[in-house]
A and B are shown apart, each in its own frame.
Chain A
Amino acid sequence: MTLTEHLPILIIIVPLFAAILMPLTGVVNRSLCWYFTVLVTFVVFLIAISLVCNVMEVGRISYRLGGWEPPWGIEYVVDSLSVFVLLVVSFIAFAVAVYARRSVEAEIPAGKVPLFYSVYMLFITGLMGVTITGDIFNLYVFLEITSLSIYTLIAMGPNRRALIASFNYLILGTIAGTFVLIGVGYLYMVTGTLNIADLGVLLPKLYGSSAVLTAFAFFTVGLSLKLALFPLHIWLPNAYSYAPSVVSAVVAATATKVGAYVLLRILFTVFSVDFDLSVVPVTYILIFFASLAIIMGSVLALSQTNIKRMLAYSSIGQVGYIVLGAALTNELALTGSIIHIFNHALMKGSLFLVVGIVVYKTGVTDISEFKGLGRKMPITMAAFTLGALSMIGAPLTVGFVSKWYLALGAIDAGMWFLVPVILISSILTAVYFWRVVEKIYFYKPDTVYEVEPVDSGFEPGTDGCIVSRLEAPVTMLVPTVVLSILCIVFGIAATLPVEIASRAARLLLGGG
C-alpha cells in the first residue's frame, strides 16, 4: 500500500503518537513541547488537505483496519462530509496550537505544560477519529476519548471553579455518552452489525421495531446533550468560562461541531431522511428546540457581564442554527447547516482567541472593563470586531453566507416563520456584541493595567492622554488575525466551502 492509501489512518496515528511522546519531550526540554505540538498539528492539517484533494477526485475513500472486509471489520470512511469536518477541525487545531504557547505559559503551571499538550493531542486524536470512522461503536469510543480529554483540559483552568465546571460536564457528558452507547447497543441487537453504511442498508426494513425507535430516541437525546442543544445546555457556560483560554477557543470551535457532525450522520446516514420525516416527527421536535436555542441563546447572551460567558451563550444559539439546518432536511438548509460548522468554527475561534489575548495582557474578563481597549490593542480589537460582524451575519462575512442558506432553506421547506427567528436572533446578536464594541471604541480607559516592560511602548493618544500599547505577542496575534480575516475571505469567496458543503448535503440526502 502506498502512503496516500494510508492517509485515513495516519490522521489518527500521528496525533496519538504525539500524545504518547509528549511527556517524554517534556522531560527532555519543556519548551520543545510547543514546537512539537505545532509540528504535529501542521502535519495533521496537511494530511487533511491531501484527503480533501483525494476525495474531490475519486469520491468515497474506505480504509480497512487490519485488512478485514467492511461489514465485519472496522472501516474508516472519508467522504465529502467527513473530509470537510476533518479540514475544519485540523485547521482550527493548528491555529490554536500556534497561539497556545504564551497563553498556556501564563495560565498553566509549568510542570503541567507537557501533560497539557499531551491531552491536547489526545483531544485532536478523538475528534479526528469521530469524524473519520465508519463504525458506530468505534465512533462511541472516539467520542469518549474526546470528552475525557475535554474534561481534563477544562479542569486545568486557572480558577478553582474550573474543577466544578469540569466535574458537572463530566457527569452530563457521561450520561450523554451512555445514551449513545445504549443506542448503539439497541441497533446492534436488532441488526447484528456496527458498520454505519451497513446499518443504513439493514435498518429500513426494521423501522417499525420499537427497539429501533428506542435507539433513535437515545441517540437524539444523547447527542443533543453532547452538543448543548438549548434545554440541555447547562454544562456549557461554566465549562467554557472557567477553562484555560486556549481550551475555550478550541473546544468552542471544534468539539460541538463534531457533535453536530455525529448528529448529521445518525439522522441521515444511519437512519434515512424518510425515517426522520415519516416514521417519527423528529424534525419538528428538532426545529422547535433549535428555534428555541437560537432565540434563548441570544437572549441569555444579552444578560451576561462576563465576556467568556457571553460567547458561551452565543455558542448555544449558534448550535441552534446548525441543528435547524439539519432538521429542515432540504438541500439548501443542510448546506447552510454544514457550512455553518465551518463558519462558526472560524468566527467563534477568532473571538475566543481575542478574549484569550485580553486575558493574557490585562486579566479582565468583565465586559465593563473593556473600555478603551480599542486604542491599546488596535489589531486585536479589529479582529474582535470582524468576528462580531460575522456573528451578526453582516453581508460579506461568513455569518451572512450560512444565515442566507438557512433562510433560503426555511422558505424552501415552506416554513417561512423561521425567517423572523433568524432575523430576530441576528438583531439580538447585534445588540449584545454592540455593547462590547461600544466599550472597546467609544469609552476612555479608566483602569491602569499592569504593563509588561518588554513590549510596550508609550505613545500619545488622540486626545492628549497617554495610551500604553498592549498588543499581544506575534504567536498569539497571527492566528487570531488569520482566523478573523478568513471570516471575510470566505464571506466573499464563499463558493469553495459552499461547493463542498452542498456536495456533502446531497450525499446526506441520498443523491450522492
Chain B
Amino acid sequence: MNEHVIVQTISKILIPFIQLYALYVLAHGELGPGGGFQAGAIFGASIILYVLAFGLKAAKLRYKTKVLQLLTSTGVFIYASVGVLCMLAGGAYLQYSALPLPTQKLAYAIGIYGIEIGVFITVTSVLVTIFFETAGYEDD
C-alpha cells in the first residue's frame, strides 16, 4: 500500500471537508439547492473515496455492514416518525404546521429538517452498501 502515499494523504485531508460540505448541503436544503438526497450522495462519496484510497478491507472495519443496515432503516424510521408526530399533534400525516412549536415557520423548518436528516442517513448508508456489495462479494 506504500505506493499510494500521495492518494492516501490527499484523501485524508479531503474527506473531512467533503463530509462537512455534505452537512452544509443538508442544512441549506430547504432554502437553496440541495437537501437530504444530495447531501447523502456527497457524504456517501466521501466514504467511497476512502475505500478507493485505503482498500475495501480497511473500509469495512470502519463501516460495519450491520451498522449500515441499521442506519438504512433508521433513516426511513426518522422520516416516517416525523409524519406520525404530526398526526399525534392533531394534524394530517406530515402536516408540519400542527407541530407544537412557537411559530408556524419554525414548525415547518423543524419538520423538513427531520425528514431531510432521515433521507440523508438512508441515502448515505444505501450508497455505501451498494458500493460495498458490488466491490466485493466474498464477504457476507
Contacts and interface: CB of A to CB of B under 8 A. Distances in A.
B93 interface: yes
B59 interface: no
B27 interface: no
B12 to A, nearest CB: 34
Interface residues of B, number: 18
B93 A13 contact: yes
A485 to B, nearest CB: 37
Contact of B92 (A1, A13, A16): A1
A6 B93 contact: yes
Contact of B91 (A1, A16, A20, A23): A1
Interface in A170-227: none
A178 B132 CA distance: 27
Nearest to B98: A67
Interface string B7-22: 0000000000000000
A65 B92 contact: yes
A30 interface: no
B63 interface: no
Interface string A56-93: 00000001111100000000000000000000000000
B76 A13 contact: no
A446 B105 CA distance: 76
B93 A65 contact: yes
Interface residues of A, number: 15
A66 B76 contact: no
- Interface majority SS (helix, strand, loop, mixed), chain B: helix
A1 B95 CA distance: 12
B90 interface: yes
Interface string B95-109: 111100000000000
B40 interface: no
B117 interface: no
Contacts of A467: none
Contacts, number: 44
Interface of B: 69, 73, 76-77, 80, 83-84, 86-87, 90-98
A66 B93 contact: yes
Nearest to A74: B94
A20 B86 CA distance: 19
A9 B87 contact: yes
A24 to B, nearest CB: 8
Contacts of A449: none
A416 interface: no
Contacts of B87: 1, 6, 9
Given A1-B87, A20-B80, 15 more contacts: A1-B90, A6-B92, A9-B83, A13-B80, A13-B84, A16-B80, A17-B77, A20-B77, A64-B92, A65-B92, A65-B93, A66-B86, A66-B96, A67-B95, A67-B97
B73 A63 contact: no
A20 B76 contact: yes
A23 B69 contact: yes
Contacts of A20: 73, 76-77, 80
Contacts of B95: 66-67
A21 B86 CA distance: 20
A399 B84 CA distance: 42
A3 B26 CA distance: 34
B80 A67 contact: no
